[in-house]
Chains A and B, each alone.
Chain A
Amino acid sequence: MAEARATRINGVFARWLERRRERRLEQVNMSGTDYLLSLPQRWVRIYMPLSVIVFVLLFPFYWMAITAIKPDEQLVNFGEVNPYWVVGPTLKHIKHLLFDTPYMHWMWNTMFIAMVATVLSLIASVLAAYAIVRLRYRGAQWVGGAIFLAYLVPTSILFIPLSLIVVKYGLWDTPWALILTYPTILIPFSTWLLMGYFKTIPFELEECALIDGASRWQILTKIVLPLAGPGLISAGIFCFTLCWNEFIYALTFLSSPAKKTVPVAILSEMVDGDVYRWGALMAGALFGSIPVALVYMFFVNHYVSAMTGAVKE
């Protein structure tokens, strides 16, 4: 009995050792010649510079967060309490932000505009990418190139003439001014991304469907789209964060405070005269980042592959 258990434990132990050896081997393979570095060398060459850079990249977020919960006197008096820390944190600034300003309303505006613009852009991009990659109509390659060029046209040279167009179409100071102009930023990017995805879907699948009498529309909705799910998610996330980030169109095309998006409203509506309410401002900046940060957290791999994939194309 005891013997059997001992052999079983031995077996488990042996398997564990084997797995560990495999993992070691894998690590050596993954990191090339890194095993040649001793541990102190790794500290000096890798961990220390890396932690300095990561510290600098993250510090502003820490500073926003700690400012948002500091009592007023600690905000402007660094003498008594170390400013890197907080004694007696308060929710006063957050309460002011949420209940004394139309902050939730601005969040809703931004969310609505970002969602609708994303959906519109995705529909247009799916159709365009499918047509360029699979219908290959005459001149499709040229159109593909033109769409890439459109991605390079910056918003800061378009906002002046666009503001005239927006006024002329009667869209001034309505969310539709942004919903209809944002797709020009989003479509080129997501079309390129989806073109890459559609190219990876085997041609033979479509051939079979065509022979069975499916129309192009049926092929797109029943075969291609279900297979391009990850691509759609990547494009959607990227579009959403781009909309949430956009500033110059929102600043130029909207004027009534109640209609503004979060980035514009925080900058123009949260400063009373010359008084900066730093606590509430930082809370607003932090909360305004949360929706994109959440979306990003759940789909970080999609996001990174969208970013790098589109660059590699």
Chain B
Amino acid sequence: MAQAATASVTSDSDYGLWSRLKQNRNWLGFWYMLPAAGFLILFLAYPLGLGIWLSMTDAKIGRPGVFVGLENFTWLWDDSVFWLSVFNTLLYTVVASVIKFAIGLYLAILLNNHLPFKAFIRAIVLLPFIVPTVLSAIAFLWIFDPQFSIISWTLRSMGLISANIDFLGDPWHARISVIGANIWRGVPFVAITLLAGLQTVSPSLYEAATIDGANRWQMFRHITYPLLTPIIAVVMTFSVLFTFTDFQLIWAITRGGPVNATHLMATLSYQRAILGGYLGEGAAISTAMIPFLLVAILISWFGLQRRKWQQGEANG
């Protein structure tokens, strides 16, 4: 309809080039897309390609590299620090995402009840998500201080431990600490998004289930969860993606230490490429993240989509 209208506005007299550019839908679309496309091509698509190219050169800072094929990757293959960072990244992503999902869903269900000051509680719950990550990470750096940690002090005065916990000095303690900080930051996003999904579930379904004698778990399993699956898929895809590529939390709290125990692939590539100057090697680490990301996206997306489809099939 609108197309027809466009055509009728064009009078017979101005069939010049300029008016064609002004009126033709495809040309108009081109002009309107130009600013966004310019930004995305120059600063997103081009660097993405350039990164993959760099990973196959021996570029250093201040020296354009020459093509070396897969040499960077074979070098990384034998590099134990690289494999440690892969392990850390997977551990960090899996553990943090699972716990974020569990706590986030629980919090969303709690917030979906009728509560006094509901809007206010919902607003403050989102605070950890909106505050700049580096700034809250500095607070965690202080909370995890080896000598003056408030957690150590509290546990000590409760008589649960006798000496201060060395949160960031011991490899496993450090891993657990940064995962904890990541969960703290990520739970609000999961919870508030799932809450929006929960609010679209009709209360009459729960009423019907109650009349039929369903208990709370059955209601969750057979009403809440199936109806929430599509939104869970999207939220978890984003959560996994952002956790896997996290940089700032680690950089602010541990910088990859102690002895590389908390290096993620992103922090390792920064250290090698920008601080060490080996751009090619750093780019190879970044490029190595791409397959993991694709797999993560595909699993969380199609895995949950298919389950939804199967359930539809079973019900139908």
Contacts and interface: CB of A to CB of B under 8 A. Distances in A.
Contacts of A61: 127, 131, 139
A99 interface: no
B274 to A, nearest CB: 6
B310 interface: no
Given A57-B125, A57-B188, A252-B274, A285 B139 contact: yes
A34 B5 contact: no
Interface string B27-66: 0111011111111101111111011001000010000000
Contact of B113 (A34, A153, A187, A188): A34
Interface stretch (A9-17, A87-95, A227-235, A299-307): A299-307
B295 interface: no
A210 B273 contact: no
A63 to B, nearest CB: 6
B283 A161 contact: yes
B245 A184 contact: no
Interface string A276-313: 10100110111011001100110010011001100110
B29 A210 contact: no
Contacts, number: 296
A156 interface: yes
Given A32-B206, A304-B192, A184 B139 contact: no
Interface string B118-156: 000111111110111111101111110001101001000
A213 B210 contact: no
Contacts of A303: 126, 130
Given A75-B148, A297-B123, A137 B28 contact: yes
A258 interface: no
B266 interface: yes
B28 A263 contact: no
Nearest to A291: B132
A135 B29 contact: yes
Interface stretch (B77-85, B103-111, B167-175): B103-111
A311 B231 contact: yes
Residue of B46, B142, B210, B244 most packed against chain A (CB within 10 A): B142
A143 B274 CA distance: 33
B234 interface: yes
Contact of A312 (B50, B114, B231): B231
Residue of A32, A137, A284 most packed against chain B (CB within 10 A): A32
B37 to A, nearest CB: 8
Interface in A164-210: 164-165, 180-181, 183-184, 187-188, 191, 203, 206-207, 210
B245 A157 contact: yes
Interface of A is mostly: helix
A86 interface: no
A276 B247 CA distance: 22
A101 interface: no
Nearest to B11: A213
A60 B130 contact: no
Interface of B: 1-2, 5-6, 8-9, 22, 25-26, 28-30, 32-40, 42-48, 50-51, 54, 59, 103, 106-107, 110-111, 113-115, 121-128, 130-136, 138-143, 147-148, 150, 153, 184, 187-189, 192-193, 196-197, 203-204, 206-207, 210, 231, 234-235, 238, 241-242, 244-248, 251-252, 266, 269-270, 273-274, 279, 282-283, 286-287, 289-290, 293, 297
28 contacts: A31-B203, A32-B206, A49-B106, A53-B187, A63-B150, A76-B147, A76-B148, A83-B153, A127-B33, A137-B30, A150-B44, A156-B289, A158-B286, A165-B46, A187-B36, A206-B2, A207-B1, A210-B6, A245-B132, A245-B133, A248-B247, A248-B248, A252-B274, A263-B248, A266-B138, A289-B132, A311-B234, A311-B235
Given A134-B2, A263-B248, 6 more contacts: A61-B127, A138-B29, A140-B29, A157-B245, A252-B274, A267-B138
A128 B34 CA distance: 8
A244 interface: yes
A46 B110 contact: yes
B203 A161 contact: no
